[in-house]
Structure 1
Amino acid sequence: MKLNIVPARTGMAWVKLGIRTFWRQPMALAALFFLTMASMSLATMIPLVGPAVALALLPSATLAMMVASAEATQGRFPTPTLLLVAFRTGKQRLRDMLVLGALYAVGFLGIMGLSALLDGGQFAQVYLGGAVLTKEVAEDPSFQAAMWLSMLLYLPLSLLFWHAPGLVHWHGVPPVKALFFSIVACVRNFGAFVVYGLGWLGVFLLGGLVVSVVSALLAVAGLSGATAGGIMVGGAMMMAAMFFTSVVFTFRDSFAPPAKTEMEAPPDEPPHPPAPGPL
Structure 2
Amino acid sequence: MKLNIVPARTGLVWVKLGIKTFAQQPLAMTGLFFMFMAMLSLASLLPFLGAALALALLPAATLGLMAATQEATKGKFPMPSILISAFRAGQQRVRAMMVLGALYAVGFLALMAISALFDGGQFAKLYLVGGKITEDMVRQGNFQAAMWASMLLYLPLSLLFWHAPALVHWHGISPVKSLFFSLMACYKNFAALTVFGLAWVGVFVGAAIVVALLSIALGNPTFATLAMFPIALVIVAMFFTSIYFTFRDSFVATSDQPPEDAPATAQ
TM (norm. structure 2) is 0.94
2:262 matched residue in structure 1? 272
How far apart in 2 are the matches of 1:230 and 1:91? Answer: 45
Are 2:240 and 1:250 equivalent residues in the alignment? no
Contact 1:30 1:238 in 2 (8 A): yes
2:105 matched residue in structure 1? 105
Looking at secondary structure, tell me which structure has more helix per residue: 2
Are 2:138 and 1:142 equivalent residues in the alignment? no
Alignment of 1:61-140 (within 5 A): 61-140=61-140
Alignment of 1:152-191 (within 5 A): 152-191=152-191
The CA deviation at 1:211 is 3.6
How far apart in 2 are the matches of 1:198 and 1:72? Answer: 25
Alignment of 1:200-219 (within 5 A): 200-214=200-214
With over 3 angstroms needed to count, the CA separation of the structure-2 counterparts of 1:94 and 1:230, relative to structure 1, is: farther
Q: Flag structure 2 segments of 5+ consecutive residues without an equivalent.
A: none
Amino acid at match of 1:271: D
Amino acid at match of 1:106: V
The CA deviation at 1:235 is 1.0
1:39 matched residue in structure 2? 39
The CA deviation at 1:232 is 2.4
1:21 matched residue in structure 2? 21
- CA deviations 1:11-66 (Å, max 9, x no partner) are 11111111111100011001000000011000011110000001111111110111
The CA deviation at 1:125 is 1.7
Aligned to 1:54, the other structure's residue is in SS state: helix
Contact 1:211 1:235 in 2 (8 A): no
Contact 1:215 1:232 in 2 (8 A): no
Aligned to 1:57, the other structure's residue is in SS state: helix
How far apart in 2 are the matches of 1:61 and 1:213? Answer: 36
Aligned length: 267
With over 3 angstroms needed to count, the CA separation of the structure-2 counterparts of 1:219 and 1:63, relative to structure 1, is: farther
Over aligned residue pairs, what C-alpha RMSD do you find?
A: 2.0
With over 3 angstroms needed to count, the CA separation of the structure-2 counterparts of 1:166 and 1:258, relative to structure 1, is: farther
With over 3 angstroms needed to count, the CA separation of the structure-2 counterparts of 1:216 and 1:172, relative to structure 1, is: farther
Aligned to 1:60, the other structure's residue is in SS state: helix
Q: Flag structure 1 segments of 5+ consecutive residues without an equivalent.
A: none
